[in-house]
Each structure stands twice: as C-alpha cells, then as structure tokens.
Chains A and B, each alone.
Chain A
Amino acid sequence: MLRKKILGLLVILTLLVSVPIQAAEFPTKEVQVIIPWAAGGATDLIFRALAPHAAKHLGKAVVIVNRPGGGSAVGYTEGAKAKADGYTLTSAVTPLTILPHQVTTAYTYKDFEPVINVVSDPSMFLIRSDMPWKNLREFVDFAKKNPNMITVGNSGAGGGVHLVALAFEKAAGVKFNHIPFSGGGPSVTAILGAHINAVSVSPPEGIEHVKAGKLKIIALFAEKRLEMFPDVLTVKEQGIDFAMGMWRGLIAPKGTPADAIKKLHDAFKLGMEDPAFQKTAKDMAVNLSYLGPEAFGKLMANDHEFFGKLVKEIKK
C-alpha cells in the first residue's frame, strides 16, 4: 500500500515538473558564433576580441565555436542549417561569397540573414625580413623569371586569401606555387620557420611579427596605406592596379525572427563602439567598418556576383 502511494507521489511530482515554463525574452541563454576556421586565424582573433564586449550589451555570454574544414564549407554548412532562433550566428567573411562558385556547397549567402558587418581589411603578402627581395618590384620580377617557384602559403585552398593570391597573379602576370594550410595560424607559423617563401594573409594575422621586425609586408592590396605602417606602399602605388580585401561580419540562419536580429545587431554594434575594443582593433591593425543588415546584405550580394565572374576568369 505504501509502495503504491510513493509511486503515485512520484508520478504526480513528475507531471508537476512537466508544466511548460513560459518562453522568456531573447536571449535566455548564450549565443554561439561559429567560426569556420581553426583557432588563431584572423576571423577567429577578431571575433574572440569582440565577443565579450558584445556580450556585455547582450546580457548573455557570446561563445566562439571553431568548425574548421573544407576551406570554411563545414562551418557555413552547419551555420546555415542551425535553428533559426537567434542563438547560432556565423561569422560571415568574404569566402562565403567565393567558395560556392568553386565547389558545390550546400549553402550560399542567400541561406542567411545579414546581421552586421564589423571589419573590412585589405589583404597582403608577407615575407621574412631576411629574404633577398627588398620591394615589390624585385619580388614580381623574380616571380616572372621563375614561374611557379615562389611558394605562397594561404589559410586554406579556395579560401579568401588564396583567391586574393590567385587574383593578384592575374593582375601582375605571374604564377606562384600555392601551398594550403589549415588556417591563418599554421600558415604564419610556416613562414616564420622559413618553410615557405611568402604568405597571403589579412590582418591581424602576422601583424605582431611585422611589428617585431621578423616579417615584412612585401605587397599591400589596399586602396590606401595602413595606419600602423605608413611607410608601406600599396600595390597600386607601385604600378599594379589591384586591391582586394576581406569583410567580416555576422549572419544568422534564414528565418531568424527580426527582433532577435535587431537585439544581436544592437549588442554587437555597441560592442564595436566600446573604446576597449577599438583600442584592441587598432593594436591588431584591424580596420573597423560598420555596416547595418541591409547594407551588409547588399555587399554580400554584390560580392557574390563579383567573385562569380572572377572565379570564372581565373579558371580560364
């Protein structure tokens, strides 16, 4: 008899506990940001720096999750398929609009909603300071005379900086030997160890080493010079009409409710404006460039078209 009573009590308890709890306001738990590359790369570093500042304004933690693989395909595929509840963001970087043209991906930028753009950085080539090439002219001349000899590392086959290197090849009329690595971290390590001749990167990858004098910028693919290194000439200034960079922002799966997007956007915008973050960005030679959801969406659409054409050109 007692046993039955206890059993009954347990059943009632379980049922009581099962009463659904009212859905609270967004966000009720932490927000994840998927980074489709290994830890230590440019995107990773920038968003790791931004995360806590945004979290302050969001009221919940912002957690960085690395999902490297397939030159960003794995991360973006996961990001596109995540639940559209606002808790899973993905860091959108230019390769999002490039990779779908090169391989069949399960996503395009259209599977996402733009939230905010944070950064817009030029790309560049770095070489070790003890290399014989003193300036871009010498570098390009050597490449012309020795096609396919200069090894240029990148953070992943088909990735952003790889494409920049390929596009530069066309503009300069040379051919390099591209060596893929699993991210910006490994590629910079490789050049520090002199295993490759040059490396294609985007700030803040390698910046600390340029500051320390171990590496130097041999080619800067920007419209104007960098604030941190005012003596470094851009490639355009030296006669090759070429500039290409990366934008980095945040996107959410298509169908994410508008108010969640607004809250996320506002939190990250305030985080960007935080003076502590601005100082960190400056230290990393990273160029902040805010864009709201609409403008960012347009940018992605434009670049998607642009790279579609570029990839076709390069494949020829």
Chain B
Amino acid sequence: MKILKRDEAIVGVVIFLFGAITTFLSLKMPIGTLRMAGTGFFPLCLGILLMILSAAFVLKLLVQHKKDVIQKEVVAKTPGVIRQMGLFLGAMVLATLFFNELGYPLTSFLLMAALLWSLGMKRWVFNLLLSFITAGASYFLFVQWLKIPLPKGWIGL
C-alpha cells in the first residue's frame, strides 16, 4: 500500500494547523519568562515546534524529485466497506451513549449483536445466541466474581 504524495502533504498541513491552533490558544495564557515560566509557556513552545516540524515535512515533500506514487488502495473505495465501517462505529457510539442507562449486561449484549451484524453476520439466531453468551459470561466473570464496578442501568444488575 503506497501513499499519494499529495495526501501526505495534506496531512502535513493539517498537523501544521493543529500546531497553529495550539500556539494561538496558548498566547491567551500567561507566558511568563524563560526563567519563570508561566502556564502558557510550554504549550506555546510546543505549538511553535509542531508548526516548524510540519512545515519542514511539507517542504521536504515538495522538494523531493520523486513523482506521485501510485496508490494501490482499491479496497477503500468500495461503498460496502464504508457502510460497514459506518455501522460498526455507529454501534460503538450508541453503546457508549447509553452505557450508563442501559447497564453493563444489556449494553454488552446489544453491542455484540450490532457489531456482529455490521460485519455481515446474517445468521440471526447464532448472532443473538453468541451475544447473549458473551455478555452473560463477561457479566459473571467481571461483575459477580471479580466484583469490578460496572454500570447498573435500569435493569439493576
């Protein structure tokens, strides 16, 4: 898998912007002097450093004689994969949002089921059974046996 030079440069610029934002925000804080550094001193130096590094990186890319490298990453473009990623991430996000309300056993059950489904597990029964067993086993292991505190949710488990 090779990377387009153009993409590399874009990433470099994004990092540069991150450094710039850091610098900007740290100027709002007391800087102090080198001898008696204030709160914003360290972040300011870091922001500037990051800008320098990323600028050097981008410049190095531009100066290099090598042409664009051909990208072999065909896989990424298929819509199926993107939808898969989306569902997967979506499931994780939802699980986190409702983790406290639903409680650990229920959330882990639903999460497993959703993730399995997003990856193409079409066999419903197997999916739910597996999720149930996994959620149940981890509940018993971590909550009951090891007594690790995990959210209880409205079920009260």
A interface residues, Cβ below 8 angstroms from B:
3, 6-7, 10, 13-14, 17-18, 20-21, 23, 29-30
* B79 contacts the other chain (CB 8 A): no
Task: List which B123-143 residues lie within 8 A (CB) of chain A.
Answer: 124-125, 128-129, 132
- The distance in angstroms between the C-alpha atoms of A3 and B124, with both chains bound, is 9
Asked whether A7 lies within 8 Å of B147 as measured between CB atoms, the reply is no
* B149 contacts the other chain (CB 8 A): yes
Contact of A18 among B106, B124, B128, B147 (CB under 8 A): B106
> Please, which residue of chain A has its CB at the minimum distance from the CB of B132?
A10
Contact of B156 among A6, A10, A14, A21 (CB under 8 A): A21
Asked whether B124 lies within 8 Å of A14 as measured between CB atoms, the reply is no
Q: How far is the CB of B10 from chain A (nearest CB, A)?
A: 36
0/1 per residue, B111-132, Cβ < 8 Å to A?
Answer: 0000000000000110011001
> Please, which residue of chain B has its CB at the minimum distance from the CB of A4?
B125
User: Given A3-B125, A6-B125, A7-B128, do A17 and B147 touch, yes or no (CB 8 Å)?
Assistant: no
- The distance in angstroms between the C-alpha atoms of A233 and B154, with both chains bound, is 61
- How many B residues, CB 8 Å from partner? 14
Q: How far is the CB of A14 from chain B (nearest CB, A)?
A: 7
Task: List which B142-157 residues lie within 8 A (CB) of chain A.
Answer: 147, 149, 154-157
Asked whether B155 lies within 8 Å of A17 as measured between CB atoms, the reply is yes
Contacts of B157 in A (CB 8 A): 17, 21
> Please, which residue of chain A has its CB at the minimum distance from the CB of B128?
A10
Q: How far is the CB of A63 from chain B (nearest CB, A)?
A: 9
Contacts of B129 in A (CB 8 A): 6, 10
- The distance in angstroms between the C-alpha atoms of A275 and B69, with both chains bound, is 76
Asked whether A29 lies within 8 Å of B147 as measured between CB atoms, the reply is yes
Q: How far is the CB of B36 from chain A (nearest CB, A)?
A: 12
Asked whether B149 lies within 8 Å of A7 as measured between CB atoms, the reply is no
Contacts of A23 in B (CB 8 A): 156
- The distance in angstroms between the C-alpha atoms of A14 and B106, with both chains bound, is 9
- The distance in angstroms between the C-alpha atoms of A5 and B6, with both chains bound, is 56
Contacts of B149 in A (CB 8 A): 29-30
- The distance in angstroms between the C-alpha atoms of A5 and B56, with both chains bound, is 65
Q: How far is the CB of A299 from chain B (nearest CB, A)?
A: 32
> Please, which residue of chain B has its CB at the minimum distance from the CB of A20?
B156
> Please, which residue of chain A has its CB at the minimum distance from the CB of B123?
A3
Q: How far is the CB of B43 from chain A (nearest CB, A)?
A: 16
Q: How far is the CB of B2 from chain A (nearest CB, A)?
A: 44
- The distance in angstroms between the C-alpha atoms of A17 and B156, with both chains bound, is 10
Q: How far is the CB of B30 from chain A (nearest CB, A)?
A: 13
> Please, which residue of chain B has its CB at the minimum distance from the CB of A13?
B132
Asked whether A14 lies within 8 Å of B125 as measured between CB atoms, the reply is no
Contacts of B109 in A (CB 8 A): 14
> Please, which residue of chain A has its CB at the minimum distance from the CB of B103?
A18
Contacts of B128 in A (CB 8 A): 7, 10
Contacts of A14 in B (CB 8 A): 109, 132
Asked whether A17 lies within 8 Å of B124 as measured between CB atoms, the reply is no
> Please, which residue of chain A has its CB at the minimum distance from the CB of B154?
A20
* B19 contacts the other chain (CB 8 A): no
Most A CB atoms within 10 A — which of B105, B106, B125? B125
Contacts of A10 in B (CB 8 A): 128-129, 132
> Please, which residue of chain B has its CB at the minimum distance from the CB of A63?
B149
Q: How far is the CB of A104 from chain B (nearest CB, A)?
A: 14
Q: List 16 A-B contacts (CB under 8 A).
A: A7-B124, A7-B125, A7-B128, A10-B129, A10-B132, A13-B132, A14-B132, A17-B105, A17-B157, A18-B106, A20-B154, A21-B156, A23-B156, A29-B147, A29-B149, A30-B149
Task: List which B87-101 residues lie within 8 A (CB) of chain A.
Answer: none
